[in-house]
Amino acid sequence: MSVEKINKWVNPSRVREKGFNTKGLPVNVKELVKIYSTGKGIEVQALRGVNLYVGEGEAVTIMGPSGSGKTTLLNIIGGVDRPTGGEVIVGDIKVHELSDDLLEKYRLSIVGYVFQAFNLIPVLTAIENVALPMIAFNVPRNTRVARAKWLLEIVGLSDRLYHKPYELSGGQQQRVAIAVALANDPPLILADEPTAELDTENAMNIINLLTKLSIEHGKTVIVSTHDPRMAVRTKKIFRLEDGRIKGEYKPMEITGGVVGREAELSEVLKTKLASVEKEFEELIEKFKKHEISLEEFDRQYTRLKNYIEVLRDLLRSMGH
């Protein structure tokens, strides 16, 4: 069953010299658990039952403190790592059930992964790095060369085709990494803190590129980031804490659609934070006066507390 489902995707003629022809797939994560066993019998529970749904062609953000499980989650969705329990379903493919062999095909044909460290091959030029996944995918040579050039042009590096990674700046390396991720025209793009190491201008380039993949080309894009400029441009923000999803927020509802200048965005976020904090205080008052049930209090308390955390997180990363 899964062999046929994967083999449908392992089709090099899908990959054209130019353009994106493959639309996104929905991603459904259910009760995902990951336990790492380290030496001396010590276990780390990195994911403790994560549930999330990303619609086809949607761009979403995973936020959360260091160690909350963002990379682990992306690695499992991307087929780089395996879960201890739970399910990952991408389109009609049950990723958690794939054999090693099929998992490799899944990574090659369905996932474009932009890693936290750029993961370029140091001895290869930019164009060779971009062509590499296409070689593994049996894309014909002429198409490979043309597409690698086209992709590097898309990310604004047509004048750096023959540079090796160490001859490129951090921002340029990150753009090559995105071109590599897009080589086989995958329906699913994953990016782990893609703007963490970049200055404002380079970060904005990457953010625009990733959001465009969803909005203009219908790719499904999942990004882990602390970058509010990225987060507010996506459809949903999932807040991960201690291996669990603590809340799901719609940036449109937070910002009213303001994604413009940073100063404007921070004002909108501060106003929202003040109003949510007020709501939080009112809730506590209501509870003290016995105006609401314990269950209702509990539900609202958790929702508002996490909402406040998200807003503080966004503001903190803007230097407030």
Ligand X SMILES: Nc1ncnc2c1ncn2[C@@H]1O[C@H](COP(=O)(O)OP(=O)(O)OP(=O)(O)O)[C@@H](O)[C@H]1O
Interface contacts to Mg ion, rule CB under 5 A: 70-71
The counts of H helices and E strands in the chain are 11, 10
Tokens of 236: 């949903």
66, 201, 216, 290: which one binds ligand X (CB under 6 A):
66
In 3-state terms, what secondary structure has residue 320?
coil
Residue span binding ligand X (CB under 6 A) among the ranges 68-76, 91-99, 152-160, 293-301:
68-76
Chain positions 185 to 244 lying near ligand X, rule: CB under 6 A, are none
Residue 68 vs 255, nearer CB to Mg ion = 68
Under the binding rule (CB under 6 A), the answer on residue 57 touching ligand X is: no
19, 67, 85, 256: which one binds ligand X (CB under 6 A):
67
25, 29, 50, 71: which one binds ligand X (CB under 6 A):
71
Residue 223 beta carbon to ligand X: minimum distance, rounded to whole angstroms: 12
Residue span binding ligand X (CB under 6 A) among the ranges 4-12, 66-74, 86-94, 162-170:
66-74
Chain positions 254 to 293 lying near ligand X, rule: CB under 6 A, are none
**What's the CA gap between 254 and 261, in Å, rounded?**
16
In 3-state terms, what secondary structure has residue 81?
coil
Residue 71 beta carbon to Mg ion: minimum distance, rounded to whole angstroms: 3
Residue 67 vs 85, nearer CB to Mg ion = 67
25, 50, 58, 68: which one binds ligand X (CB under 6 A):
68
Query: Which residues pair with residue 89 across a beta bridge?
Result: 28, 94
Residue 187 vs 243, nearer CB to ligand X = 243
Can you say whether the dihedral through the CA atoms of 218, 224, 228, 229 is positive or negative? negative
> Which of Mg ion, ligand X, none interacts with 44 (beta carbon under 5 to 8 A by kind)?
ligand X
Question: Do residues 223 and 114 make contact, with C-beta atoms less than 8 angstroms apart?
Answer: no
Can you say whether the dihedral through the CA atoms of 138, 139, 145, 151 is positive or negative? negative
22, 61, 72, 234: which one binds ligand X (CB under 6 A):
72
Question: Do residues 187 and 220 make contact, with C-beta atoms less than 8 angstroms apart?
Answer: yes
**What is the length of the chain?**
320
For residue 77, give the nearest of 91, 58, 64 by alpha carbon: 91
Residue 66 beta carbon to ligand X: minimum distance, rounded to whole angstroms: 3
Number of residues in contact with ligand X under rule CB under 6 A: 12
> Which of Mg ion, ligand X, none interacts with 69 (beta carbon under 5 to 8 A by kind)?
ligand X
What is the number of other CB atoms lying within 10 angstroms of the CB of residue 41?
A: 6
> Which of ligand X, Mg ion, none interacts with 72 (beta carbon under 5 to 8 A by kind)?
ligand X
**What's the CA gap between 63 and 232, in Å, rounded?**
11
**How buried is residue 105: exposed, middle or buried, by Cβ count under 10 Å (0-12/13-18/19+)?**
buried
Residue 72 beta carbon to ligand X: minimum distance, rounded to whole angstroms: 3
Site string for ligand X, 7-36 (x = CB under 6 A): -----------------------------x
Question: Do residues 120 and 170 make contact, with C-beta atoms less than 8 angstroms apart?
Answer: no
**What's the CA gap between 41 and 164, in Å, rounded?**
42
Tokens of 290: 């016995």
Interacting residue ranges for ligand X, rule: CB under 6 A? 36, 38, 44, 46, 64, 66-72
